[in-house]
Structure 1
Amino acid sequence: MAYIQNEDPRYHNYMSDQNTPQPSYPSIQAAQGQPYYIPQQIPHTTAPNVVQTVPSQSKKVSSSRSKMCCYGGGGCCSIIVVLLVLAVGFGVRYGPSLWNLAKKDQITDTCPTSQVKCDGKKDCSQGSDESVCVRLGKANELQVKTSKTGSFLPVCALGWSKSIGDQTCKQLGFKESFENVFLQTSSTPFQSLNNGQFSNTIQGSVASSQQCPDQKVVSLLCSDCGKPPTSTKIIGGTTAAEGQWPWQVKLPNPYYLKQIILHDYNTKTKENDMALLKLETSVRDITPICLPVSGQTFPTDMLCWTTGFGVTREGGDSSTTLMEVAVKLIDTSMCNKAGVYNGVIYENMQCAGDLAGGKDSCQGDSGGPMVCKADDRRWYLTGVTSWGIGCGRKNRPGVYTNVERFLPWIHSMMQITRP
Structure 2
Amino acid sequence: MVWAILDFMVVLLFSLFWWTSHLIMKSQLYVVVYKCSSESADGEKAKGARSHLNRADSQGFMDMNGVEEGVEFLPTMNAKKVEKRGPKRWVVVTAVLIIFLLVSLLVGLLVWHFKYRRAPVQKVYNGHLVIQNLKFIDAYEISSLPAPELVMGAGILHAALQFIWPFLALIPPPGCSNGLLEGSVIAYYWSEFIVPAYRAKALDKAMADEQSLIQMVKYKSRNPMLQVNSIVAFRSCNFALHAKEGEITSFTTPGFPNSPYPNNARCTWVLRADVDSIISLTFKTFDVEVCSKGSDVIKVYNSLSPMEPDELVTLCGIYPPSYNLTFLSSQNVMLVTLITNAEGRNPGFKAEFFQLPKAKTCSKTLKGESGTFTTPFYPAHYPPDMDCVWNIEVPSTKNVKVHFNVFYVLEPGTPVSSCPKDYVEISNTKYCGERSQFVVASKNNKITVRFHSDQSYTDTGFSAKFLSYDSSDPCPGKFTCNTGRCIDKVMRCDGWVDCTDASDERACNCTTEQFRCNNGWCKPRFWLCDGVNDCGDDSDELQCKCPDKHFKCSNGKCIPETQKCDSKDDCGDGSDEGTCSKVVKSVPCKDYTYKCHNSLCVSKTNPECDGTKDCDDNSDEESCDCGIRSYSKQTRIVGGQDSEVGEWPWQVSLHVKSQGHICGASLISDKWLVSAAHCFQDESQIRYSDPKQWTAFLGLHDQSERTNEMVQERSIKRIITNSQFNDFTYDYDIAVLELQSPVNFTTTVRPICLPDATHDFPAGKEIWVTGWGATSEGGIGASILQKAAIRVINQTMCNTLLADQITSRMICVGILTGGIDACQGDSGGPLVSVESNNRLFLAGVVSWGDGCARRNKPGVYTRVSKLRDWIKQHTSL
TM-score (norm 1): 0.49
Greater share of strand residues, 1 or 2? 2
**More RCO (CA 8 Å, sep 6+):** 1
TM-score (norm 2): 0.24
Greater share of helix residues, 1 or 2? 2
